[in-house]
Amino acid sequence: MPGFGIIKGLKETARNFFGSYHDPGRFVTIQYPEEKREHHENYRSFPFLVYDGDPVKGLRCVSCKICEKECPPQCIYIVPEQDGSGKLLKFPRIFDIDVSVCMGCQICVEVCPFDSIKMDQEFEVSTADRFGGLILNRSKLAKSNEYYHQIRPAEATAVDAQLAAERERQQAKAAAAKSPAPAAAATREKKP
């Protein structure tokens, strides 16, 4: 019977019409600013820098520039701190991320050997200032390890354990060889 397929289709839309009133599986809309989806722990938005203790001195970043090199859209800009004699210190003087360029790919997090850069979950970063407002500098990027624990408990715990193990190994090594800083040496090797 011609027309039957159309009637079947009408039945289907009627079912969805009524279903949207009582079936939450059909009516999935979230009223965004009032309600928000819960993000999974793995959710990522833009990078941030982890610090332990002091927001400036406690930054884990040693300004090795690996992330700057690997970043696909080249949105990271790092200038290491210098001491009075012009010697480079293992600390970033400038660490800028242009969020308007960053595509949140997480490559910087993966390549970082010091677990110093991690992915944030803050996604409401819109601003009226198109250029200045979207460049995150060192102070805006720095977030505490507690915050990291708060957004990604499982991953942060694992990272902490790994860092602690690393530190222990280094201390053991240092105790054995009395050599001051093997980690820095390793970094310098990778830099050319």
Least distance to other proteins, CB of residue 7, Å: 10
Report, in Å, the least distance between residue 132 CB and other proteins: 26
One character per residue 153-182, x = contact with other proteins (rule: CB under 8 A):
------------------------------
- What are the start-end ranges of the H helices in the chain? 4-22, 66-70, 107-111, 138-141, 145-151, 153-177, 182-190
Of 28, 50, 192, residue with least CA distance to 108: 50
| Helix, strand, coil fractions of the chain, as percent rounded to 5 | 40, 15, 45
Rg of the chain (C-alpha set): 24
Q: Is 186 in the site for other proteins (CB under 8 A)?
A: no
- Among 43, 77, 91, 114, interactor with other proteins by CB under 8 A: 43
Q: Are 113 and 64 in contact (CB under 8 A)?
A: yes
| 16 near other proteins (CB under 8 A) | yes
Q: Is 104 in the site for other proteins (CB under 8 A)?
A: yes
Binding residue (CB under 8 A) for other proteins from 1, 128, 175, 177: 1
Please tell me whether residue 32 binds other proteins under the rule CB under 8 A. Answer: no
SS3 of residue 76 by DSSP? strand
Q: How many CB atoms lie within 10 A of CB 63?
A: 22
AA identity, residue 189 = E
Q: Nearer Cβ to other proteins, position 26 or 36?
A: 26
Q: Looking at beta carbons only, is 45 or 144 nearer to other proteins?
A: 45
How do beta strands 88-98 and 135-136 pair?
antiparallel
Residues in contact with other proteins by the rule CB under 8 A: 1-6, 8-17, 19-21, 26-29, 39-44, 66, 70-72, 103-107, 110-111, 113, 119, 190
